Structure 1
């Protein structure tokens, strides 16, 4: 349809679209025919402008009328139920993986002819990579543009993974929808703002990961372009700490897979790894050692080591609700972690975790989680309300997931703004005699617990609560059958302290985060400092002097004397 806008008539005045609209008016009014214009890269205002900008007032006053633009096309995930994974291992298979997101991906795996195969998985991923660079052949784009990646290209590449908020009034919003796979959720009546979103789409997240980790692509340049977009006001900058934390977590995730020998035909980054593997990649050795022994502890409910729990997240999605255990299991299968709703109490990021086997039928009873609180305090080294903000507040009861956990969970406190780099266990407080007594009672229950009991989560919790109620005045004597809603405050604190494995990390350097160790031989970080790029993003703010000459910069400074 863009040809109708680009090409003019013989006199070079009106566009072909202008004349076609007039021709459509000549159709009989009672035959019920209307025209639909579709395109993927043109601006919506070309075909459906605001009424005050319409070149032909007669269209509005006559019997012909322009419909509002069609943009709410609800086809995401329409094929998911057709191939529901029966085990977590099955969710790694292409037949399940490509069912998520747009129907394009799943349709390419199938063929309308019995004697013709569908696309191979790596071919579909290559197509997704090309879509993320504006529809160009990826190998050609990489050769031509790898040293001059634009801000909009950086946003397109990082967008499927990082959960970036694009300012609706930014010109990038329209460009990302029209040419780089971003979805349009709402168009203002004056066409001046477009609310956009990047849904949780595992195929695009995998494609994004492969571009970010391509040896010929400079990751630092991608991060610096994101920083520039934030300074230009194109990216929402109010939650920079969380944005940096998400990028840091994804960097650690990717680094695990860089050490694995995976055939090029495989889906590389969208597979399960253990909690220990991930934390070894994320943390520096001195930080990892602070929780290493806790990771070796046996989980009573399943009989497995806590560090052998499975996680899978290739990207983040912003949510407007507090997830429950079913939401966490669905996210784990999909390979996505949650960026919590604004003003969410307790946590900023939730990463689902499965303490069980990959080849068993997934159960919500085996779901645990990593709860992450992000701070960007420059003046207060440890952040406000510490250590409560790293322990009591960073618990499932405070977040609203569940009152009583029945398996270990990790609480990670990331104070990125600290000028000093160090880590510590924030739970080093003196416990009361009552708390120590309740802890010993839980030990008594779990010491001889046999996983062959085949308990559900509810029965398992009831065993513990019944034991706690013996000679304990501040615990309910007869726990209700519904163990989710009637826990006492004492029980909530007891379970939190018993099952929580907390770690507080301060600063943003390779002293505490092993994934910031810069491999000098890797071309993706040559020519820049990875740590500095992360810090620039952490402290970036809208800068009206960006791109201006020296005289303009001085004028802006005089306009803002304070």
Structure 2
């Protein structure tokens, strides 16, 4: 259209996937044109008739990202050239992402304008919104603080405003003419659960191949995303409520994810617990299949399993001993004490480092009880994990608390892998840590649980460093100040020059002591022994932790001298089983154990399968479905090793693999024949036969 005064009609077609209906081979052979090409031809003809005075612009809308790929590449499109031979230009796909948090942003904007115009002392109110470093707090972070420290009803309504506009619109429709807030919220959560199951009501019949067995609920809560080039990237957006963020210019890659959506996470909880053993029977096996198909970016199998464990523990706290059906959905937080009680760690006997004197055992136990008592009034709550792109700070913690989320550290982060925020409000400040006098106490206090995850077998050779230095805030959070030159001459010269204060530049989380946070160490592959039980509390003096950290500033050394008698504690969890995590069922523990098998060591895959065979045989001795144990484990391992054609080399002590030789195989067969006998034995031979 060249005439500026011309009129343009916008033709919008929703549910444009109807144009993607595949026609049969016979129809294509007879030259039947697709619906999309018919529509495009009609638009071309009508625009040619209208000429320069206007036109009709077609827009196709759908959650199916394949709608962006309706037209073939220009080089293969017979209709891509006009009569003059000029190539037509195609519009890139326009991804609608601005609707996320639309009602929440609108609510904050309205609240800000009302407070600015109506508050009698607006200037004084703004002055109160200072952060830890003395700067102005962004209004959205102040809003998150308000709903965390405010009443439960307002917090619940805030959660519904977050995420997709669909939730608030549905709540508004359901709440018209009703008084029961929780009943209206339950209807919204039910809608979210149905959306994760292709609109099917979450009962036993909903977990099938069509709904991918409800695995979208797992991706939503874990904060995982499909790989761009996998078929799941498009399908998750079209059918399972993933968010499409970007389509590459070749239109063969889709960046999709499950960003923070609190209501969708609550719906995912319903999918998890509506039927008994739904996780172990349907959801987790389907997730394992997606991982083996390399369709999902997990960010590390060990970290993924740890996230599942933490979510299960948090859910048990929220249920408070009840079943999901009798659980009253609220936006409340749970005491940190309750979370630690579910993990059953507070009554464990502390284990000291070699440097800590054993003669002070009773005194150290008293110090631990005093330290754990400090968290009596602290609270926490999360329903899903969010992938963090940058190093978190205190604003990040308030953001996560406001959305009932926990964080996944960026992959280049030092030390810890996961972070769970917790807070203590002014009304609960009886046993909180000391409050900074420069800050308004009504803002409350915020801290964190730092979690480091390993999957080392049979033990972590860096254990002492992992449970101390690598979980220290000074190690996890980077310093923004430049390291001082260790050269004595330059250092002496610097002493004559006043050093500028850099405290305002530092991340406040980095300045926290190890006693101001809770630390958790998880090694899913650890082999439990009397010296390293399934779980225990590890403690070391803070002076020892700083001594191993390599910090050489005078301020740090002074702190070390002052805190020599103070201890830092870490909750340690080893192996993967019901002994370590008592809130797991046997089926669930076995499913999670299947995930942590080594993907890079094939013999460890064999070991994992043999362990499952032993467990299944012990628990199902009368079942015909269990494989015969006529072939011992060592025979099967030797056979697998020869099939992999292992080259010779030095055998590592911590390796599960068995070095295969012809002699070992003969000896294994002899042991098998002597112990089992071969009369009347029938089996299957799989492999090359010469």
TM-score range (shorter-chain normalised) is 0.7 to 0.9
Change beyond 3 A, Cα 1:116–1:206: closer
**SS of equivalent residue, structure 2 residue 596:** helix
Per-residue deviation, 1:240? 0.6
SS across alignment from 1:58:
coil
Q: 1:217 to 1:41 in 2, by over 3 A?
A: farther
Alpha-carbon deviation of 1:262? 8.6
Deviations 1:394-430 (A, max 9, x none): 0222111533326631111111111225233333469
Q: What residue in structure 2 maps to residue 396 of structure 1?
A: 473
Question: What's the CA shift string for 1:75-131, capped at 9, x where partnerless?
Answer: 212322416463425366432110111122122233599868999111111111111
Match of 2:103? Answer: 79
CA spacing shift, 1:127–1:50, aligned 2, 3 Å = farther
C-alpha contact 1:372 1:394 (8 A) present in aligned 2: yes
Within 5 Å, give how 1:113-192 maps onto structure 2. Answer: 120-134=184-198, 136-139=199-202, 142-146=203-207, 148-149=208-209, 152-192=212-252
Instruction: Quote the residue 2:163 is aligned against.
Output: 101
CA shift for structure 1 position 47: 2.3
TM-score by length of 2: 0.62
Q: Conserved in 1, the CA contact under 8 Å of 2:452 and 2:520?
A: yes
Distance 2:337 2:401 in 1: 17
- Cα deviation digits, residues 504-526 of structure 1 (max 9, x gap): 222112222222244xxxxxxxx
How many pairs are equivalent? 483
Give the Cα–Cα distance (whole angstroms) in 1 for the partners of residues 77 and 516 of structure 2. 62
Per mean C-alpha deviation after superposition, the further-off stretch among 229-238 and 344-353 is 229-238
- Residue 513 of structure 1 corresponds to which residue in structure 2? 581
User: Which shifted more, 256-265 or 167-176?
Assistant: 256-265
Whose radius of gyration is greater, 1 or 2? 2
Alpha-carbon separation, structure 2, partners of 1:542 and 1:532: 20
Q: 1:347 — aligned with what? A: 416
CA distance in 2, matches of 1:428, 1:124: 48
**TM-score normalised according to structure 1 size:** 0.75
Q: Which residue of 1 aligns with 2:319?
A: 258
Per-residue deviation at 1:287?
4.5
Determine helix, strand or coil for the equivalent of 1:205. Answer: helix
User: Residue 20 of structure 1 is aligned with which of 39, 45, 48?
Assistant: 39
Q: Distance in 1 between matches of 2:79 and 2:561?
A: 69
SS in 2 for 1:40: coil
Match of 1:414 in 2: 522
Structure 1 residues 508 and 124: alpha-carbon distance in aligned structure 2, compared to 1, 3 A threshold: same
After superposition, what is the alpha-carbon deviation per residue over 1:262-299, rounded to whole angstroms, capped at 9, x for unaligned? 99698637531111211221346865888997775379
Q: How far off its partner does 1:317 sit?
A: 0.6
Higher relative contact order (CA 8 A, sep 6+): 1
SS of the aligned residue for 2:376 comes to helix
Which residue of 571, 579, 594 corresponds with 1:536?
594
Query: What residue number does 2:537 align with?
Result: 425
Gap runs ≥5 in structure 2: 1-15, 109-142, 352-363, 430-439, 478-506, 606-640, 647-690
Query: Is contact 2:246-2:254 (8 Å) kept?
Result: yes
Q: What is the match of residue 368 of structure 1?
A: 447
The CA distance in 2 between the partners of 1:343 and 1:494, in whole Å, is 33
For 2:437, the equivalent position in structure 1 comes to: none
Mark the CA change 1:116 to 1:215 in structure 2 (over 3 Å): closer, same or farther: closer
Shift of 1:190: 2.5
The correspondence for 2:570, drawn from 502, 505, 511, is: 502
Q: C-alpha separation between the residues in 1 aligned to 2:462 and 2:307?
A: 23
Q: Aligned partners of 2:391 and 2:347: how far apart in 1?
A: 33
Change (3 A) 1:419 1:66: same
> How far off is 1:18 after superposition?
0.6
- Asked if 2 retains the 8 angstrom alpha-carbon contact of 1:90 and 1:96, the reply is no
Give ranges in structure 1 of 5+ residues lacking alignment: 436-473, 477-486, 519-528, 546-556
Identify the residue that residue 370 of structure 2 maps to in structure 1.
297
- Taking the TM superposition and a 5 Å limit, the aligned residue runs for 1:157-556 are 157-216=217-276, 218-221=278-281, 222-236=283-297, 239-261=300-322, 268=329, 270-283=331-344, 287=348, 297=370, 305-356=374-425, 366-379=445-458, 381=459, 383-400=460-477, 401=507, 402-405=509-512, 408-420=516-528, 421-428=533-540, 487-491=555-559, 498=566, 500-518=568-586, 529-539=587-597, 541=599
RMSD of the TM alignment (CA)? 4.0
Q: State the match for 2:19 in structure 1.
A: 4
Query: Deviation of residue 261 (structure 1)?
Result: 4.8
| Aligned equivalents of 1:249, 1:314: Cα separation in 2 | 10
Q: Does 1:57 align with 2:80?
A: yes
Residue 489 of structure 1: CA displacement?
4.8
Secondary structure in structure 2 of the residue aligned to 1:257 = helix
3-state SS of paired residue (1:14): coil
- The whole-number CA distance in structure 2 between the counterparts of 1:97 and 1:348 is 26
SS at match of 1:276: helix
